[in-house]
Structure 1
Amino acid sequence: MNGDGGAGVIRVLLTDDQPLVRHGLRVLIEERNGLVVVGEAGDGAEAVRLAAALAPDLVVMDLRMPGMDGAEATHRITSAPGTPPKVLVLTTFDDDANVHAALRAGASGFVVKDMDLDRILDAVEVVAAGEALLAPGVTRRLVSAFLARTPKRPALPLPGVTAREREVLTLVGLGLSNAEIAARLFITPATAKAHVGRLLTKLGARDRVRLVILAYEAGLVRAGEG
């Protein structure tokens, strides 16, 4: 986390072309302890510029905007040198093409705009922390559709991954949280978190969304499972 807002504070950049939406999100976010809005952008180009200037921990990104859209902005932000912020995409289920582009671009999570506001705020914290997969049903559906459009390839090998880690990766692919994985495998949540951390390192994955994709590509999870 960046330290300008205080120890443990998650610094958020809001990106949406509708000022009322940004204002509403700002009010809600800043009512929750540990979250602070450090800037607002009205389009993708401004989001890229402010992400570089303000170094937020998380960018909340709308997809449909004039000029540079959210998918392109996500790509530019997540591919920046150093430690780029994570991107949480605001989406609707009728926007699959742009969502797939955002997934390819490096988005770390997705929330549907008509979700309960408290769940959206939970998602902000979850994605910034990188600890649990938000809205697993949403993300699984998007990943399944994304991979269905991707050319078929041989199952991805997982060199160096232990049998237990393959079990954990399968459950991550199904959208389970660390606590749910722990309950399923009769281990502690701390142990489940440690397994996930090792998987991220071994597989070179930047976040759990990438682990979900890898679980599909390795053949551990098939579209429609869950």
Structure 2
Amino acid sequence: MKVLLVDDHAVVRMGLKMLLNSQDNMEVVGEASEGNEGIEKAQATSPDVILMDLSMPYGKDGLSATSELKKLLPDTAILVLTMHDDEEYLFRAIQTGASGCVLKSAPHNELINAIESVNTGNAYLHPSATKKLMEEYLGNLKHNGSDLFELLSEREKEILTLVAKGYANKEIAGKLIISVKTVETHKSNLMEKLQMKTRPELVSYALKKGLLGYSI
């Protein structure tokens, strides 16, 4: 089984490489420190499984790289590695084509089992992620047919309001004291929840909800 490592921490890659190469059925065929390099290495080595870090501050991030790789190498399984049990990033990773998600703090045997699972075409989610996905699914069932506005988090409602008022992502980031990337993630999530694709749709919706101080 050929495995490619994509993580911005050299020490993490070294530890993973030692662990995986010690397995009889696994071989690390390449390493990359960010998404663009990961895409290049994947095309050059055609791995069976890619271990993809989500949070890489330089170059292309894990979500963007996963989305592009699934178009270029649809048969390659991508297992997301993450430090944080963040449901928004988890949902986005699955939506972009990842076969599973495992925490970096997971025991070695769990990581090995996860790699073997996605390599055979199955999905793998760590226990807390499975619970979150079930809660999200049940929540959607509960709200099915009701106002989608209730599916938005408080932060997403804040960003919806500011987007509708004409603020750019950078301006929103400054107002809420968060990163531009975080703004983009929340904006993408809220548009998906509201089933909208354009800014005018968001503005019209915000007006109807009275988020701009008046409604229509």
Same-fold status (TM-score > 0.5)? yes
**What corresponds to 1:144 in structure 2?**
134
What's the CA shift for 1:60? 0.3
- Is 1:48 the counterpart of 2:48? The answer is no
CA contact (8 A) 1:41 1:50 kept: yes
Once the two structures are superposed, the pairs formed by residues 60-99 of structure 1 within 5 Å of their partners are 60-66=51-57, 67-80=59-72, 83-99=74-90
Q: For residues 92 and 148 of structure 1, what CA distance do their matches in structure 2 show?
A: 26
Give the 3 Å change call, closer, same or farther, for CA 41–58 of structure 1 in structure 2: same
Amino acid at match of 1:122: N
Distance 1:150 1:72 in 2: 26
SS at match of 1:111: strand
Q: Structure 1 or 2: larger helix share?
A: 2
Aligned pair in 2 of structure 1 residues 119, 103: CA closer, same or farther (>3 Å)? same
SS at match of 1:79: helix
Give unmatched runs, 5+ long, in structure 2: 146-216
1:3-42 paired onto structure 2 within 5 Å = 10-42=1-33
What stretches of structure 1 of length at least 5 have no aligned partner?
A: 1-9, 155-226
Distance 1:125 1:44, change over 3 A: same
What's 2:162 paired with?
Answer: none
RMSD across aligned C-alpha pairs, in angstroms? Answer: 2.4
> How far, CA to CA, are the matches of 1:94 and 1:139 in structure 2?
7
The answer on 1:107 being equivalent to 2:107 is: no
**Inter-CA distance 42–88: structure 2 relative to 1 (3 Å threshold):** same
Q: CA deviation at 1:58?
A: 0.5
SS in 1 for 2:79: strand
What is the number of residues matched between the two proteins?
Answer: 143
Deviations 1:145-190 (A, max 9, x none): 6557879668xxxxxxxxxxxxxxxxxxxxxxxxxxxxxxxxxxxx
How far apart, in 1, do the equivalents of 2:32 and 2:90 lie? Answer: 19
Calculate the TM-score normalised by the size of structure 2. Answer: 0.59
TM-score, normalised to structure 1's length? 0.57
Tell me: higher relative CO, structure 1 or 2? Use CA pairs within 8 A at least 6 residues apart.
1
Q: Which amino acid aligns with 1:24?
A: G
SS class of match (2:93): helix
The one-letter amino acid of 1:38's match is V
Question: 2:117 matched to which residue of 1?
Answer: 126
Q: Which of these two proteins has the greater Rg computed from alpha carbons?
A: 2
Aligned partners of 1:30 and 1:37 also within 8 Å: yes
